[in-house]
């Protein structure tokens, strides 16, 4: 799954990489983005605008929001069924967290560059699509977010066969290291969340 992520780039770094697409200040220097918070979503690359969305669909069967959509069943669930055709989006990020026990790990591209999660949106809310984990995640979690390098963004938004795109797409190479348990608390949203940490075996 994907339950927290980062977007630590500055305005200048974002403009260098995205060219003409500017994320509002709310989406810069974020170290612990959590569900039910506002995130930036890009729904159409031609408009050059990023929209604000709340991360998580309301769940009529639970008080907890739905924050992820499994790629294998996205066409089967009524909540997502039509969105793969008409509600795809990009959620810019530069890293994400996953937990083994209470120990968080931080994942990012080797070059620490900006990427995007492939997502779905409706009514100004969004979810992140997940898929089976690759070897980088082995032993930490069996799921991972659907990640797209900048050069693949147009293909995701415009693909006439998004289901095939999802199932044939190979995730990019990532790096991973254990980080401070500060990130476990949503109130902590600062660079210290990314501090290297010793793996604490007793937590597993």
Spell out where 9-136 has E strands: 30-33, 38-41, 51-55, 68-70, 88-93, 95-100, 103-108, 115-122, 125-132
Question: 13, 22, 72, 98: which is the annotated catalytic residue?
Answer: 98
- Catalytic status, residue 2: yes
Question: 2, 89, 126, 193: which is the annotated catalytic residue?
Answer: 2
Give helix then strand counts, H and E, for the chain.
Answer: 4, 13
Residue 26 — φ and ψ, nearest 5°?
A: -55, -25
CA distance 92 to 114: 7
Task: State the catalytic residues.
Answer: 2, 98
């Amino acid at each position: 799954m994907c339950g927290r992520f980062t977007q630590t780039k500055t305005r200048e770094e974002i403009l260098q990489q995205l060219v003409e697409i500017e994320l509002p200040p709310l989406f810069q220097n974020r170290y612990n983005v959590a569900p039910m918070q506002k995130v930036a979503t890009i729904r159409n690359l031609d408009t050059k605008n990023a929209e604000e969305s709340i991360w998580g669909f309301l769940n009529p069967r639970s008080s907890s929001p739905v924050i992820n959509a499994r790629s294998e069943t996205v066409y089967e669930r009524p909540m997502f069924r039509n969105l793969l055709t008409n509600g795809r989006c990009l959620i810019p990020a530069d890293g994400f967290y996953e937990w083994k026990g209470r120990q968080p790990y931080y994942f990012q591209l080797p070059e620490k560059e900006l990427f995007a999660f492939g997502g779905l949106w409706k009514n100004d809310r969004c979810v992140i699509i997940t898929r089976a984990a690759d070897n980088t995640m082995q032993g930490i979690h069996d799921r991972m977010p659907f990640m797209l390098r900048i050069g693949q963004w147009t293909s995701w938004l415009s693909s006439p066969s998004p289901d095939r795109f999802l199932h044939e797409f190979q995730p990019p190479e990532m790096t991973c290291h254990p980080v401070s348990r500060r990130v476990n608390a949503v109130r902590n949203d600062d660079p210290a969340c990314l501090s290297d940490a010793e793996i604490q075996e007793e937590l597993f």
